């Protein structure tokens, strides 16, 4: 594709340099690469220099949406948690109540749609379906829980958000997300999805949504009331430039987002360890906190052996955590396997439950980690 004309968006900090690279559809193309500062003339930059810049305080942007892909710093005006584990009494009661069968049921419900593409009728219907599912989780006797659909400019699929309003620290927000949309790629890795294309997306990302749904269910059923506000988000159009999460992150750019967890693909165990932490486009301190949560809670007697963690790079395509990371919020993405050993069936008609973990047990690990993260970070420590 040819290089489009670009300029930095007006809501970004002009004191930073911004690096640009071209995306095509849902895939990031590593060439041609550019660098510019503010509105200055675009100049070419070698590939190695661009990737080195990502770890030197320079933001990476894509030229289509002109939004930053990575901003390796944390906003100074948001609450920094202590990352201490203090809620064992609550968490240890919640986690055994979570069931893999519930995760499988949610995956089956989402994959019943032909696809969940961000512009298709089924993509819109899948959002409506999940809205009703999450609405059914909300206890009508509790006025602190709300479920809503978020409309976005330019496409019909809506994101779904379930909010548990905090008590005395309600302005501090914990975000847990996954994406509801799917895509089908051709042999070259380019998006060829049409209205009638089969793209079930069982692993990518019905699994992440199912893990989050089970976490939300057990937290709500327990009657737990967090000090901080907790938001569960099912983003639209992740496969297309992260458009849904970028829109939401932009709307909440001035909010006190304490931490963000992304679950994108949780039900395929392609590597020897159980949970892999993405080291790129994420927050180092929060990543360590998540590893501590695994070691504290995902062990005996819940599991015969303690679950194991590893580290991987989730790659230049990223997921919705990037939308928050680029705005300076602490974000993390635990992943189902090492990047080079992930599910090969994604973005195809073969991304089915049968081609991941039919039992849902692998995804349950991530659901339990999400529940622990929500309660511990929601405690306001």
Query: Which residues are identified as catalytic?
Result: 179, 204, 238-239, 264, 347
- DSSP states of 216-231: HHHHHHHT---SEEEE
- By the 10 Å C-beta count (0-12 exposed, 13-18 middle, 19+ buried), 14 is classed as exposed
- By the 10 Å C-beta count (0-12 exposed, 13-18 middle, 19+ buried), 46 is classed as exposed
Backbone phi and psi for residue 340, each to the nearest 5 degrees, phi listed first: -75, -5
Contact 178, 205 (CB under 8 A): yes
Helix or strand holding residue 44 (H, E): strand 43-44
Greatest distance between any 2 Cα atoms in the chain? 60
> Cis peptide before 291, with omega less than 30 degrees from 0?
no
319: nearest Cα among 203, 219, 149, 167: 203
For 254, other C-beta atoms within 10 Å of its C-beta total 11
- DSSP states of 351-365: --GGGS-TT-HHHHH
337: nearest Cα among 267, 238, 261: 267
The gap between the terminal CA atoms of the chain, to the nearest Å, is 48
**DSSP H helical ranges for the chain:** 47-53, 88-94, 100-111, 121-137, 208-222, 243-251, 284-297, 321-325, 361-378
Q: In 297-341, where do the E strands start and end?
A: 309-312, 331-332, 334-335
**DSSP H helical ranges for 37-98:** 47-53, 88-94
Paired tokens of 348:
């195809």
């Amino acid at each position: 594709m040819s290089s489009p004309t670009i300029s930095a968006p007006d809501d970004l900090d002009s004191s930073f340099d911004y690096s640009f690279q071209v995306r095509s559809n849902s895939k990031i193309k590593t060439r041609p690469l550019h660098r510019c500062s503010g509105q200055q003339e675009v100049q070419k930059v070698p590939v190695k220099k661009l990737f080195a810049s990502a770890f030197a305080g320079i933001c990476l942007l894509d030229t289509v949406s002109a939004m930053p892909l990575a901003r390796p710093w944390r906003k100074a005006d948001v609450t920094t948690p202590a990352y201490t584990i203090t809620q064992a009494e609550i968490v240890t009661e919640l986690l055994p109540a979570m069931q893999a069968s519930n995760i499988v049921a949610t995956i089956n419900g989402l994959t019943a749609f032909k696809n969940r593409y961000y512009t298709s009728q089924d993509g819109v219907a899948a959002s409506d379906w999940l809205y009703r599912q999450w609405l059914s989780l909300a206890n009508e006797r509790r006025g602190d829980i709300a479920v809503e659909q978020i409309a976005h400019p330019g496409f019909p699929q809506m994101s779904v958000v379930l909010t548990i309003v905090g008590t005395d620290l309600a302005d501090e927000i914990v975000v847990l997300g996954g994406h509801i949309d799917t895509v089908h790629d051709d042999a070259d890795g380019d998006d060829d999805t049409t209205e009638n294309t089969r793209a079930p997306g069982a692993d990518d990302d019905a699994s992440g949504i199912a893990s989050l749904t089970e976490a939300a269910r057990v937290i709500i059923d327990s009657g737990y009331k967090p000090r901080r506000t907790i938001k569960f988000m099912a983003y639209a159009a992740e496969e297309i430039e992260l458009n849904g999460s970028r829109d939401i992150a932009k709307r909440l750019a001035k909010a006190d987002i304490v931490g963000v967890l992304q679950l994108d693909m949780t039900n395929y165990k392609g590597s020897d360890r159980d949970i892999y932490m993405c080291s790129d486009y994420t927050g180092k301190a929060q990543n360590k906190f998540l590893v501590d949560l695994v070691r504290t809670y995902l062990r005996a007697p819940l599991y015969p052996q303690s679950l194991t963690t590893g580290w991987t790079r989730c790659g230049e395509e990223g997921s919705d955590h990037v939308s928050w990371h680029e705005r300076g919020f602490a974000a993390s993405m635990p992943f189902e396997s090492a990047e080079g050993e992930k599910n090969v069936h994604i973005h195809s008609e073969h991304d089915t439950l049968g081609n991941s973990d039919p039992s849902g047990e692998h995804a349950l690990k991530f659901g339990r980690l999400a529940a622990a993260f929500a309660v511990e970070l929601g405690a306001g420590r």
